[in-house]
Structure 1
């Protein structure tokens, strides 16, 4: 008997049905399938994701701790269902002559399969099925041509889990011990991206606090309808400033000795990438980056999402959509319905709504939001929202052998010919039903052909502005169709001219192979369905899109020099001479000050002022500028940067002041100082990159995993040794408690405490030791 182990029950079912007429059976209430394939008895069973997890061998709250083992995942809360799957695999493997692993072909999939093989079946060796899709053809090919397990992937997967466990558990315990040393309690956490972000924010805060202002003086001349300043601008020497002030303070007139005029052209602003949209929405509406991202999501995503367990066809196998990396390659269909690779980006949101469950005749199921378009054949190929599908509808799929086509028909029908010659089949819908759902849903933004394969069914990709691109699509017919949707709107007068003149849009330097710039794609049929905030962001995006096609703004700049008692003062002004794109994208404001001066003209001096000023410290980052800084430092991704800032705010490490600037709190500053002194790696942005490089080298078998784990342990031991020696000092920094001595009764640290009647000295060993002393 051959035992095939899949990653999840639904995949086991597909594999069994591909190999023959499968019989469904159960053991310990867990489904498995028996099938006869060319005289061979095959049993197809499954895991349910990771069956095993890391736990401490002898649980304690001390650190450092590295004694860990793999244990059944059902020990974790909410995973009791795993127990029967482990029991089922153990029992079925007793009768197996050979075991085939058919989990996802990636690091996590290889690890899941290996652990099932080792811990459930008691074996170290097994054959490996590698397939790129769950079609009958691919599954049979993978079964008949098995490969060896990739132990490089296994080692990389185990190493990633172990190293993350080492760092997470030990650093958390070290922090808790430091706080506990002062008999206090705080939940503290830091991430590999949040750490470096908090670090540079704290460094800016430190610069501001340590800044020492330097005085300087400015000479201002108030003339009729304008102000001029001395050409030297800043006087650092007070005596020099006073000397010139005395020379000009009583002047009644000045003479215009020079007037220069020049015209500058300002190109249209480039189309939005996500970071720029977040900054502009903050500048004009004071929306936080996270809020802007959420509004953009509601505008662009509009419900096109799939159930988290949906299987997605990738070039190297099949994976649940919820398990995909944030970006990568996916298989989609080209115009000839042939499978081709394309870049994707993963999207996620949380819903509480009714979803549509589609069941095909062969048992294939797809659960999706109501609006998600599915590729069907209705005399021609169409993408139809799932809520508008009908039973017996002809769905385009990769998982059915019968194309159900007539040769006579497809010779005269181009779409049928494409289906016949492509990599797809036609399957029929058996049942459509609504189900209640609350939780996360996912979708992909796919480059090129804007479709992908979900549970073997062809679906249209979502459109969502997680993009780094500042370039609009180059397809004029696509742009023209978008512009035509703006008919009968306030934007039509601009869109109509763009269409008539076939104007080309400007573009920025940033590119994103997976998605174009954020741009308007339609006009809302019912604007009342959008909130006021959504309308503001929509208007911002629509006007930014249209302005990219428009003329340059032309501005005239005037610079004048005025002699007052032989001292030169300068004045400047500017005005718009051609409004250009600003008539559409009117959000930025231009100062309009026309200096109507002529050379040789006498101007009346109303007063002269000597003003003392001081240099100012560097500005704090704002909710807008922090996104730009994270981009520059390559910390986080365009999709996560807003979330990073939001987490730091929620944890109380930073706060948003009334003027929108980000101020590091005492807690945030103390966290940074503690890590700087005792664990600088946590606030060093190099840590994540170094770890990923080493894990990749393990996978490529360039480095031994034991060396990486030993190095991680050694690194942590050194750091944690310093932590342990300085626990009280670290606790003092984290709790803001002032240590003032040692308790005469028990020897614990004494700290300043706050009580009902004010501050006093108390023992940190309270309530075991109740020693107190008045501050007086």
Structure 2
């Protein structure tokens, strides 16, 4: 009997092999794989390298032809730089021939399901296999997943294939359509546009055009500089009428004192900020650390995978039976305990990671075993039900277990540490945040890709987290006080996610395990989590009105009375402007009064942080893909990130063209509707073929209309691009014209110019007027040729003497030549 296990990547194959036995590493076609024996069976553990197959056009039509909808899956080696994929495909084909059974052990998500299914179908020529599902790469999780395999989730496969196919439909067809339009007017330019990127680029362009068209409006501000460097502003703040502003200024400019006529003091309580959803975490990480949204998401995922984990062979109770956690699908349904200790169904997501550490092996009186990392909480009874980390359990501890659907209490017979290197698994659970592992009730992990701002309602769960953190060298002092209060009611936000709670801290990772960036994100999450349990901050705001010769000026100040939650989550800065003690009727010395002309400013561009919020608000993309959307827009040259997102002329031209000739492509509603249908495929609420057919028909209709206007589209797009390039050239040209004065010969502008011998000042009316003047006008002597002045110039070979009447007189001398200055 031979079993072939197909993993997602080589590093995972190694961990799974080590978890299942004592493997021998072998190679075939320069691809590593592992062989071992387990329970008399030969096991081969091999891997893919991510997606082994990619979509290509089925019938290779002439270059640039569209519309095309006939696609097929081909080896990913067809893509540039992926030739190495062929060897992995050949290896799996060869190894599968000696296998009696095939297990898929790829990641537990849509892409993982698709990678595994494609390897099975196109490398092994099969469509059925056992599925190892695991959320962490612990040994127990892997073994449990191997011994309790599930089946392939074809809902996930269909959802993954549909998304890839529809994105291909839109990307290839629209890009070809744009390039053909340009070709129709005898020009050529590589163009691309995507299904979600189009609408995203459209609203960025709206903002960019708003900024370009913005006409600043002048206004005047009158300020009084008071004693102690305090600034008071006229109550009108902005004067739109210059005459009115100057009249007020003339009235107050010579005043030496102002009289306090009103003092308003307000004390406000400021609630803690709600726990993090992914979008808010991405924005905060950008604001405080300048981490891109994509980078923050990857770091949060990495921290998440370092969290609570179980051995891969852990058996998980599902609505339709029991499976090893390593064999679970990436997503699905699971059984957990509700608040009445009754079994209830909930959605879950699978996690996994690789560890090399000591795990805790717990053996109960009836022989039940559970192997977990030290941090993983187990439900026990200590006068009340409470989750306790495995590493803190003791022998004879009363553990909550299930047997035939009934809840029982069992004592721990033995606790031991075991050395382990390999994959460990965990689950995130939508409801009640627990699940049944080897008959024992355990807690789930905290998931980073969430839109929730609410922590779990389970008080025992929250107590368990806090008990884990109370020995932390930094956070411990706050945790102990939170626990002392006893009333665990954290602040929460409005946003909810039916699948996941807010991002929150769950344990204390070893410091050496984290990179510097991971430490920053962990600290941000930990402080935000703990501050949600803390007191309100209190701030005092003073608003004082000062009469200066009948004109009212406002003086504002603020200070913190009580730090509250801000002591823990100190990242947002409070303005501290403490005013001296003032009473109504006091006279305040005035040092000077100023009037300043200002202009209104255009709306701000989005940043890589604020655009995530906007995409979320408009329901474009998913919480997992929004960061990638921004990255693609930058990569394609449509947007530049220079601290804010500036749409390039290319980006503007593309959007204006699409808006004029096929506005459906950048229509947000169409994109949102399609996104909802793709999600329904996953849960079998709609058929894959229905969604693909509908997407094809809609796109076909759009492209047919586009083709009729192809030449018009091309002319419009090229005209836009040329116009923008021309205006930019003129703009750059004008910006280089530094006016330094008037030409003494014709009255034109004297501007900075660059000539053969360096920079000089010349008349803007050249060649009509040929007046020039040196920048360094150090007169050495008279020019022997024309009587003009010899001055120091600088050319490509260094400094020299040249006539000030250049280019009319081109006399020069070496600078080191002995000269008579008299």
Q: State the TM bucket, normalised to the shorter chain.
A: 0.5 to 0.7
- Per-residue CA deviation, residues 652-685 of structure 1 (Å, 9 max, x unaligned), is 322222xx22212233223323322333223222
Q: What's the counterpart of residue 454 of structure 2?
A: 471
Alignment of 1:135-150 (within 5 A): none
Q: C-alpha distance in 1, partners of 2:589/2:73?
A: 89
Q: What's the counterpart of residue 713 of structure 1?
A: 700
Which structure is larger by alpha-carbon Rg, 1 or 2?
A: 2
Give the secondary-structure state (helix, strand or coil) at the position aligned to 1:512: coil
- Per-residue CA deviation, residues 324-367 of structure 1 (Å, 9 max, x unaligned), is 78xx643245499998532335779xxxxxx8xxxxxxxxxxxx
Relative to 1, partners in 2 of residues 1:538 and 1:592: Cα closer, same or farther, differing over 3 Å?
A: farther
Relative to 1, partners in 2 of residues 1:689 and 1:319: Cα closer, same or farther, differing over 3 Å?
A: farther
- Per-residue CA deviation, residues 194-239 of structure 1 (Å, 9 max, x unaligned), is 2222211111111111100001111111221221122222111111
| Pairing partner for 1:167 from 158, 166, 170 | 170
Q: C-alpha distance in 1, partners of 2:626/2:699?
A: 27
Relative to 1, partners in 2 of residues 1:316 and 1:216: Cα closer, same or farther, differing over 3 Å?
A: farther
| Pairing partner for 2:652 from 669, 674, 693 | 669
Q: C-alpha distance in 1, partners of 2:309/2:674?
A: 33
Alignment of 1:289-688 (within 5 A): 289-302=293-306, 329-334=332-337, 341-345=345-349, 379=365, 383-385=370-372, 418-419=402-403, 445-448=428-431, 462-484=445-467, 485-487=469-471, 489-504=473-488, 505-525=490-510, 527-587=511-571, 588-657=573-642, 660-688=643-671
Relative to 1, partners in 2 of residues 1:415 and 1:282: Cα closer, same or farther, differing over 3 Å?
A: closer
Give the secondary-structure state (helix, strand or coil) at the position aligned to 1:713: helix
Q: C-alpha distance in 2, partners of 1:323/1:183?
A: 56
Relative to 1, partners in 2 of residues 1:154 and 1:646: Cα closer, same or farther, differing over 3 Å?
A: closer
Q: C-alpha distance in 2, partners of 1:625/1:69?
A: 37
Deviates more, 1:228-237 or 1:505-514: 505-514
| Pairing partner for 1:215 from 218, 227, 240 | 218
1:205 maps onto 2:208 in alignment: yes
Asked if structure 2 preserves the Cα contact closer than 8 Å seen for 1:207 and 1:618, the reply is yes
Relative to 1, partners in 2 of residues 1:248 and 1:622: Cα closer, same or farther, differing over 3 Å?
A: same
Q: What's the counterpart of residue 280 of structure 2?
A: 276
Q: C-alpha distance in 2, partners of 1:293/1:469?
A: 15
Q: C-alpha distance in 1, partners of 2:472/2:71?
A: 66
Query: C-alpha displacement at 1:486, in angstroms?
Result: 3.0
Deviates more, 1:540-549 or 1:412-421: 412-421
Alignment of 1:740-759 (within 5 A): none
Give the secondary-structure state (helix, strand or coil) at the position aligned to 2:601: coil
- Give the TM-score of the pair, scaled to structure 2: 0.60
- Per-residue CA deviation, residues 119-175 of structure 1 (Å, 9 max, x unaligned), is x99xxxx9x999999999x999x9xxxxxxx9x999999987876554333222223
Q: What's the counterpart of residue 65 of structure 2?
A: 63
Q: C-alpha distance in 2, partners of 1:378/1:516?
A: 31
Q: C-alpha distance in 1, partners of 2:463/2:325?
A: 37
Give the secondary-structure state (helix, strand or coil) at the position aligned to 1:647: helix
- Any unmatched runs of 5+ in structure 1? 1-6, 11-47, 90-103, 143-149, 349-354, 356-367, 389-411, 424-431, 740-776
Q: C-alpha distance in 1, partners of 2:502/2:344?
A: 23
Q: C-alpha distance in 2, partners of 1:154/1:628?
A: 30
Q: C-alpha distance in 1, partners of 2:632/2:405?
A: 51
Alignment of 1:222-301 (within 5 A): 222-225=225-228, 226-301=230-305
Q: C-alpha distance in 2, partners of 1:638/1:551?
A: 31
- Per-residue CA deviation, residues 494-544 of structure 1 (Å, 9 max, x unaligned), is 21111112143222222223222222223344x344333333333222222
Asked if structure 2 preserves the Cα contact closer than 8 Å seen for 1:447 and 1:514, the reply is yes
Asked if structure 2 preserves the Cα contact closer than 8 Å seen for 1:258 and 1:561, the reply is yes
Asked if structure 2 preserves the Cα contact closer than 8 Å seen for 1:678 and 1:723, the reply is no
Query: C-alpha displacement at 1:453, in angstroms?
Result: 9.9
- Per-residue CA deviation, residues 422-458 of structure 1 (Å, 9 max, x unaligned), is 89xxxxxxxx9978x9xxx997532346577999999
Query: C-alpha displacement at 1:718, in angstroms?
Result: 0.8
Q: C-alpha distance in 2, partners of 1:69/1:456?
A: 47
Relative to 1, partners in 2 of residues 1:189 and 1:8: Cα closer, same or farther, differing over 3 Å?
A: farther
Q: C-alpha distance in 1, partners of 2:539/2:316?
A: 53
Give the secondary-structure state (helix, strand or coil) at the position aligned to 1:688: helix
Asked if structure 2 preserves the Cα contact closer than 8 Å seen for 1:486 and 1:523, the reply is no
Q: C-alpha distance in 2, partners of 1:251/1:703?
A: 79
Q: C-alpha distance in 1, partners of 2:559/2:404?
A: 65
- Per-residue CA deviation, residues 261-310 of structure 1 (Å, 9 max, x unaligned), is 221111122222222222222222222222322332333322779999x9
Asked if structure 1 preserves the Cα contact closer than 8 Å seen for 2:308 and 2:373, the reply is no
Q: C-alpha distance in 1, partners of 2:290/2:161?
A: 45
Q: C-alpha distance in 2, partners of 1:322/1:728?
A: 57
Query: C-alpha displacement at 1:314, in angstroms?
Result: 8.2
Asked if structure 1 preserves the Cα contact closer than 8 Å seen for 2:358 and 2:420, the reply is no
Q: C-alpha distance in 2, partners of 1:161/1:284?
A: 35
Relative to 1, partners in 2 of residues 1:167 and 1:198: Cα closer, same or farther, differing over 3 Å?
A: closer
Q: C-alpha distance in 2, partners of 1:562/1:650?
A: 54
Asked if structure 2 preserves the Cα contact closer than 8 Å seen for 1:576 and 1:592, the reply is no
Q: C-alpha distance in 1, partners of 2:448/2:53?
A: 36
Query: C-alpha displacement at 1:640, in angstroms?
Result: 2.2
Query: C-alpha displacement at 1:185, in angstroms?
Result: 6.3
- Per-residue CA deviation, residues 3-62 of structure 1 (Å, 9 max, x unaligned), is xxxx9999xxxxxxxxxxxxxxxxxxxxxxxxxxxxxxxxxxxxx999997744462224
Asked if structure 2 preserves the Cα contact closer than 8 Å seen for 1:375 and 1:459, the reply is no
Query: C-alpha displacement at 1:688, in angstroms?
Result: 2.5
Q: C-alpha distance in 2, partners of 1:274/1:445?
A: 15
Whose RCO is larger (CA < 8 A, sep 6+)? 1
Q: What's the counterpart of residue 32 of structure 1?
A: none
Q: Please, what is the CA RMSD of the aligned residues?
A: 5.7
Relative to 1, partners in 2 of residues 1:255 and 1:299: Cα closer, same or farther, differing over 3 Å?
A: same
Asked if structure 2 preserves the Cα contact closer than 8 Å seen for 1:303 and 1:371, the reply is no
Give the secondary-structure state (helix, strand or coil) at the position aligned to 1:541: helix
| Pairing partner for 1:730 from 694, 700, 717 | 717
Q: What's the counterpart of residue 802 of structure 2?
A: none
Relative to 1, partners in 2 of residues 1:218 and 1:139: Cα closer, same or farther, differing over 3 Å?
A: closer
Query: C-alpha displacement at 1:315, in angstroms?
Result: 7.0
Query: C-alpha displacement at 1:581, in angstroms?
Result: 2.0
Q: C-alpha distance in 2, partners of 1:521/1:387?
A: 12
Relative to 1, partners in 2 of residues 1:248 and 1:704: Cα closer, same or farther, differing over 3 Å?
A: closer
The aligned length equals 612
Give the secondary-structure state (helix, strand or coil) at the position aligned to 2:709: helix
Q: C-alpha distance in 2, partners of 1:651/1:381?
A: 56
Give the secondary-structure state (helix, strand or coil) at the position aligned to 1:726: helix
Q: C-alpha distance in 1, partners of 2:132/2:345?
A: 12
Q: C-alpha distance in 2, partners of 1:79/1:56?
A: 19
